[in-house]
Amino acid sequence: MTISINQLASGIGLRMGGDIFAVLEYHHVKPGKGAAFARVRVKNIKTGQVIERTFRSSDKLDDVPVDEKRLQNLYRSGDNVHFMDNSTYEEVVVPLETIGEDARFLQENLEVIGISYHNEVLKVVLPTFITAEVTHTEPGFKGDSTRSGTKPATIDTGAIVQVPLFINIGDHLKIDTRTGAYVERVQK
């Protein structure tokens, strides 16, 4: 479906050059001389790249209906991750390459948001923070808590994160899924 620049709104999907973009913000500009135009900031749904484009009033844009679904992680098999759609209780299979680096933080029963087009999940958005248990790390030594420094630790998802020296096996940590960084130790 094609739309004009007057029908632009934040959050709608547009197809440009074969990729699907979400509109982040837009500004209609009506100069004193010449035709009106729209300056639009869009984000590529798959890659996350943000670009700015200008469209003239005569341009027709290709509208793409994108949906956000709440998905619950079930299990991983081969190169696919199986989710359950929380609204329909149907199983949704997403290739690991679609999830990308974020797959290292997928926990059992973790709720994520799936951005889809025609029932094909284009991107999986994890919560900003997860709580994970340390399954392996070198033991800390007495006095390590006063000295700054980090050591690698494996969490229950299999990911390796850098943690302070005082962290031990069995500790629960708050991890930032955007950066993969340790935030704090939490009580479970």
Please list, in sequence order, all residues whose beta carbon lies within 8 angstroms of the beta carbon of residue 26, skipping any fewer than 6 positions away: 8, 9, 10, 38, 39, 40, 41
Question: How confident is the model at residue 135, as a pLDDT?
Answer: 93
Question: How confident is the model at residue 17, as a pLDDT?
Answer: 84
Average per-residue pLDDT in the chain? 87
The token pair at 152 is 């690698």
> What tens digit of pLDDT does each residue of 52-77 get?
989 888 888 888 888 889 999 999 99
> What tens digit of pLDDT does each residue of 130-170 get?
999 999 998 866 554 555 688 899 999 999 999 988 888 99
- The region of weakest confidence among 5-14, 84-93, 97-106 is 5-14
Question: How confident is the model at residue 33, as a pLDDT?
Answer: 85
Question: How confident is the model at residue 111, as a pLDDT?
Answer: 94
90/148: higher pLDDT: 90
Question: How confident is the model at residue 123, as a pLDDT?
Answer: 86
With a pLDDT cut of 90, the percent of the chain lying above it is 36
Number of helices followed by number of strands (H, E) in the chain: 1, 16
Residue 172 scores a pLDDT above 90: yes
Average pLDDT over residues 9-17: 83
What domains lie within the chain, and their CATH numbers?
2-64 (2.30.30.30), 68-125 (2.40.50.140), 129-186 (2.40.50.140)
Residue 83 and residue 80: Cα distance in Å, rounded? 10
Global pTM exceeds 0.75: no
Whether residue 108 contacts residue 72, with contact meaning beta carbons closer than 8 Å, is answered with: no
Average pLDDT over residues 12-33: 86
